[in-house]
Amino acid sequence: MVQQQVVIVGGGMVGLSLSLMLAKANIQVKLLEAIQYPDEQQAADLPYHSSFDARNTALSRRSVEIYQKLGLWDALQQHATPILQVHITEQGGFGKARLVAEQEKVESFGQVIENAWLGRVLLSQVRAQPLIELIDAAKVIAIEQNEQQVRLGYSRAGQQYQLETSLLIAADGRDSYCRQALGVSVDVHDYDQVAIVTSVETSKPHQQVGFERFSALGPLALLPLPGDYRRSVVWPVKKGTEHEWLGEENDQHFLDALQQTYADRAGKFVRTGKRFCFPLSQVLAERQAIGRVVLMGNAAHTIHPVAGQGFNLCMRDAYVLVRFITEQISRGQDMGDPEMLKAYEQARLSDQRRVIKFCDAVVRGFSTKNPALKLIRNTGLLAFDLIPGIKPLIANYAMGLKS
């Protein structure tokens, strides 16, 4: 039986980032991940190519600041693109809203980074950190806890292992085994949508402008990528229609739909990469602190990508949790104390609820075709663009600086 300070289950982007935050605070971590990563030599030999199939993440300014504090931003920035403007419009509507970084006196509203590069840098840093022990291809098969500790069972390469920890962090995704094993129920809302994700090339340079366009087919986000003419696409469409947009035989059909939606705003859509798709639903855990276990990332809350807030919300959760843990240690107290974890949960609920409510309201509000509601939506977009004081408030919130 091995005793560890902190065990994290889930080595995705949230789990990797959180483990580095803890190590930065001089806290030992054991990180378990179900998939098998390429070994260090394989990863070193594998060249990174900026491809049209790369999925990406929009990092808020707050998330960028966290990576800066971890000393990772110089490496991450090599394949990141700043968002200097955000344009929000509705197809067939008169309202529009525009945010300009220079007017809000900020360097940018955030950075768009390809997941392939973000994951590569995080994994490399985790492997180089002596305070982190990474165990991949490890499937958790049992969890139980008492007042003093959490006991975890996992299988790897046909063998079974057990370990104990005073604090377990479950960052094992939307369908979290840990959450289910602990009997935590979830509130699920199916949006009846599927997100189409890809990268495209346009004839006009993106000039670091991000577009959010609400169309008849769904809310479409077009964000700048490294390379003057490359842009990412996240397009939620009605479930059951996704096959219309997938496959090489539908490349031109997809490009034509983008062209019709955006007209000449991005120039001509000249090339598309392979499209990926995944179903969209809101999944909220009833509790996030369960004894000596805390849920993190999509295990705690999975939200609609309409405003690009999901990963950034998780990063703020992780940052605050590390602060609570380090303060607990500095007082010489138990770092897995259930009361402390409950206090963390309460401290994060306000920010989480605001983001979840906002994203859900945008999806529902722009999904209806009622003419009266469309008039209200477009009037609201005009008000956003014209009334003094609204832009700085919304901009700071979107950047993750008001949480």
* Domain annotation for the chain: domains and CATH numbers: 2-52+115-188+281-363 (3.50.50.60), 73-113+192-280+373-398 (3.30.9.10)
- Beta strand 276-285 with 301-302 is antiparallel
CA distances from 295 to 163, 178, 205, 215, 226 (A): 19, 8, 41, 35, 34
- Give the burial string for 294-319 (b: 16+ CB within 10 Å, else e): bbbbbbbbbbbbbbbbbbbbbbbbbb
> Would the CA dihedral through 278, 345, 145, 25 be positive or negative?
positive
Do the beta carbons of residue 248 and residue 275 sit within 8 Å? no
Cα gap 240→227, rounded to integer Å? 33
Q: What is the CA radius of gyration of the chain?
A: 22
The pLDDT value given to residue 41? 61
pLDDT averaged over 10-residue windows placed end to end, the chain, 403 residues: 78 96 96 87 54 72 94 94 86 67 81 90 95 96 94 96 96 96 95 90 95 78 91 90 93 94 91 90 96 97 82 95 96 95 97 85 59 45 46 50 51
Q: How many Cβ atoms sit within 10 Å of the Cβ of residue 373?
A: 13
End-to-end CA distance of the chain: 40
Strands 139-145 and 276-285 come out as unpaired
- The total number of residues shown for the chain amounts to 403
Q: What is the pLDDT of residue 389?
A: 47
Residue pLDDT, tens place only, 195-238: 899 999 999 999 999 988 877 777 788 999 988 999 999 888 88
Q: Is 139 left (phi over 0), alpha (psi -120 to 50) or beta?
A: beta
Given this model, what pLDDT does residue 366 score?
A: 54
In this prediction the pTM is 0.88
Q: What count of other Cβ atoms lies within 10 Å of the Cβ of residue 390? A: 13
**How far apart are alpha carbons 148 and 29 in whole angstroms?**
18
Ranges of beta strands (E only) in 225-292 are 230-238, 269-272, 276-285, 289-290
Q: Are 179 and 16 in contact (CB under 8 A)?
A: no
Q: What is the pLDDT of residue 97?
A: 75
Q: What is the DSSP letter of 208?
A: T
pLDDT at 316: 95
